[in-house]
A and B are shown apart, each in its own frame.
Chain A
Amino acid sequence: MQDKQFMRETLIEGAKAYKAGRMQRRTFIALLGMAGFGAATLSPRAADAAADRIVLWNWGGQSEECHGNAIGKPFTAATGIPLAFDTSGPLQGKIKEMVDSGNVTADVCDGDLFDAVALGQTGHLEAIDYDVVDRAKTLPGYALDFGVSVILYGYAFVYDTKAYGDNPPNSWADFFDTAKFPGKRSLYKWANGSLEAALMADGVAKDALYPLDLPRALAKIKSIKDDSIYWGSGSEAHSMVVNGEVSMGMVWQNRGRNIEQDTDGRYKLVMNEALAMPGAYIVPRGNPGGREAVMKFIAAAQSVPAQLELFDCLGMTPSNPEAFAQLPTDGQPYAITSAENINRVAYNDPHWWGNNTDEAVNGFLDAIS
């Protein structure tokens, strides 16, 4: 292990030197050869990241282009550090595996704030440097030791105006009432959002959700199980609605506008009682680009123009209060933090989820299968 670590550092130094023009290409390759099989797991990307480059680990799709424009461009302009992407999706298990294996290839993960709680406790993350990152540029309670929320997304639902046009549903209670609103429902398969929606439908106040009463939530979920199908990805949620498989579908709020457009307005988004989720930037421990650079990157993501551009590009809602008032008028109905929505949405508790994900998810899977 020690030897391998030494070779790795030598290589990273070499990569930096090569990049800075202090080392011949041939020498660098010879160094790579010397490192041999043991260092083969060190991908070029790791060396590149070490050579003053920030790797953002996100979920692919449009987000590469959007993050590149909104955050990458101004960040590179200000620091000279380029932004690169790993679009394989930073699930908790993958971050843990990456850090445990000692082969960290990403600098910052586009994760959830509850990931910051869970992985922060187990020592898999770098602490956020609040001398560089601004606690005030996010919602209160969403600036944590090991992660800070830079955007918000949410669990809302869409309904079929053709089925319920005269008396449209407006709450999770309506969503779970299949007698009054007959038809199929779709819910998120991995529990979060779905549990909160069930509790609100069952009469729990939106600011008294946590700690979640799991048995009560699961009972409510089971009550409409025969009419429910469950999705595991945003595109699946989207297609379930657009293909008319469901009359009401839980979706990620940022997809709401697309769904309304794709169905020519047949399906309509309901933001009342939507659950706001703090999307967070978290840093795997031992990130190749170093702590200093990555904190600058996170700070850049907090800026008002970056946040507004992300909203425009991905529909992710700004978490920086300064940006709330500057949301474009036509986007406000779809934004969690717009004036019309900010007080009628519920807010996710990253601490509860950071400590209870396993029980919640497994309990949920058991309930629906």
Chain B
Amino acid sequence: MTQPSAQTHQGSAPYEGLRLNGLTKRFGRFTAVDGVDLHIRRGEFLTLLGPSGSGKTTLLMMIAGFQDISAGDIALDGHSITTVPAEKRNFGMVFQGYALFPHMSVRDNIAYPLSVRKRPHAEITARVDEMLELVQLTKFDTRLPGQLSGGQQQRVALARALCFAPPVLLLDEPLGALDKKLRIEVQAQLKAIHQRVGTTFIYVTHDQEEALSMSDRVVIMQNGRIEQLGTPQELYQRPATQFAASFLGKSNFLHCSDGLYALRPEKIDICPATQTAGAPLGPHRTTAVVHSVTYFGSILSYTVALPDGTTLQVDVDAWRGGPTLDRGAQVTLDWPDEAAVKLAPDTP
């Protein structure tokens, strides 16, 4: 299928993965996806993260072939697939709500992509057994989807989408219907499965924790455009825009003479004013008053007010961060230079 020699000749990597060039989708006068350029590497776990209406699901549906493309191009391994219909793209997909076939058993659901391809019976059985094992549902193979829990259904959907070894697996908020505890469990399972099968995963979510914990790279989307692209660490440590900084984690924003800076709450040191009395004031050292305290178990979150009236969030490790400061306490704040990240202005 791939043509390594030709690609090498062009100077590309041995395999390309999925390339989106100026991908655009308009609904009447509304532009849902606005000229997205993106290269998804083969085998990576890429997350499209954004609030609802940011265009992430539309983008995914365009990749899947369910949504027509207004402009631009999609190429897989150097070949345009823009005009290839959904059923011929061979992309697996896990739908929101799973979209299992309610009239088929778990086994038949998983076997479906192989049986529509008219694969030999023995091959189907073997492959489905393998997938059942992968998602740990071997005992449930004769059940109907309606007889399974949400988490089990989610795994059936995953097994079904992976059964035919697609080069790309698209996941549309696959954990949205699960409760929080189960979600964290399934996140780990998903990540493990990704590592085992090595398929490219394109994952759509609006949940920043999901994005951070599972992804190789994350695309933050806003208004149909890519706001920032990078590894979770890059995005968290060096947000490019105010939107990226606020959407991914919590952030304080400091207006300085040379622009806007993002300052993560946990990067600020805080101590009672009494302990630092008499010490010289550093470049960032400032006094403040505790406005409110919120206890989150692992962290204590303070809202403090600076003398000029601006408020900052300060997070402290609840276990190691010393005694809890009371509301109204005088405190001293400080942070290293590299903790504050200069932001580019937001895209309009």
Classify A-B as touching or not with yes or no (CB < 8 A): no
Question: Could you tell me which A residues sit within 8 Å of B by CB distance?
Answer: none
